[in-house]
Structure 1
């Protein structure tokens, strides 16, 4: 009996990278293929532990390169595709929307065409709660799978577009798909342009931490390992065509998150510097994960245990993030926040 072949796109990034390692550890009888273009946010250093394993394969490719992708799919005949690969930073999408459309929309279409060509058994498209737009501050309101899509940034608009393409390929061609929409992830190997790793790395170096506006924007935080287990469940147990929201029920203001990290590291809150708010900054995200919980998903981490775990990981793995925050990253940070 031949091994199942699983293609993970974006497997050198944050969530995709954690998922690759999760799958390698849990399913030694699966062949796991990591396809990544290795843009600024991707690296293979994180995979040193698994790179010599017999069931791990790396393919460097651009998901929008139709010729390469079609050839790869026809050669390997993947059983499953789990699609993470995407440009994902809202600030960068505001500065340069075009690359988000090319990768997130056109790249997804290329993958769908290739998956349709070889009749994959399941195509799981990993999306975001940001496609729903924003919620008000009423704690009784949540995003559900039936919430209309109302994206407010070029990033979330590109993800909503790819979601609709995935749905269309299911409805038109019968492609077996699922869409997952997650809240803000955090955990090991999170690229340090995002709030939690940015704050940890800045605080450890006694550098000022930028906080947009008044810091009262609310996000629902999900540990990346809980997200991995959710995708695993959807891949193997979900009915084709269904959408699942993945949320942690861990709502925090951005300022609360920053202060938690500062206090845990026993530093001064004077490191906080409020900066001009992001354009179109959504007030609040919050997910109702009831549908996924009924499928059998239970998260392991609450925010307190998850953030403690994450801070400790960054303390123990300085060599990984220190090499990232040098060079081009410093230039990006300076131009984005106008602080040193």
Structure 2
């Protein structure tokens, strides 16, 4: 497949901070590609370099076979960008806003109005942008990014701050956009979002790409345990340890927080057998590794503001 994006060894420093440190990646045409990482990992700076908004200190970038820096006017009609924080003209309605953005690309009002319908904002066309909900504003932002029918779309944490229903609705929209043949590059720290939407992901931290692959392949690579949990009160932690040891179950972690008794094991069969024998299966959940486990294994568990 042809490459929509090719980046090799890009770096960007701000004073003493190495924001991007030798990032290399390639995105195929038509691919839905995710860039994951904790706060401060370098995701947004990497995206801005790919978009041609920032100049890299080192490295090479090509979008659709062209260099995005210095600012390449030939690329502007072919790419769409939705920023992490969107700011619209105050007092303009959704219809006026999308028509204004469309005019920048020589796109007429008919297509602009059709784009409002495309993202489910027809009923909100007359609402001023500052009065729109978070989900409506994000949909309008995406509509503005694709009103000129770009080949390549960049989305920087598009669902941050949205409620679960708004997030799911936006996922459906993004799937449809990608299904039309557009290449989509998404940054997010929602691991379920990446797992559902992305063909491949790169996990970043401290300005570096740590791992790249399909979500399923990355999950298969880690030698992780199965998580088993039941409601508390059915089996005490001490007694549970004794019974699991007698059954030959290898428990790598067990805790009871008063609501849930949770344990980790690589041998779930004897654990489940013990729980069944003790009639302690109420609230049973069994979960294998997920992309979140991959993320935490690569980037650590410490909180970052």
After TM superposition, the score normalised by the length of structure 2 is 0.30
Structure with the greater relative contact order (CA < 8 A, sep ≥ 6): 1 or 2? 2
Report which of the two structures shows the higher radius of gyration computed on alpha carbons: 2
Question: Which has a greater percent of helix?
Answer: 1
Question: Which has a greater percent of strand?
Answer: 2
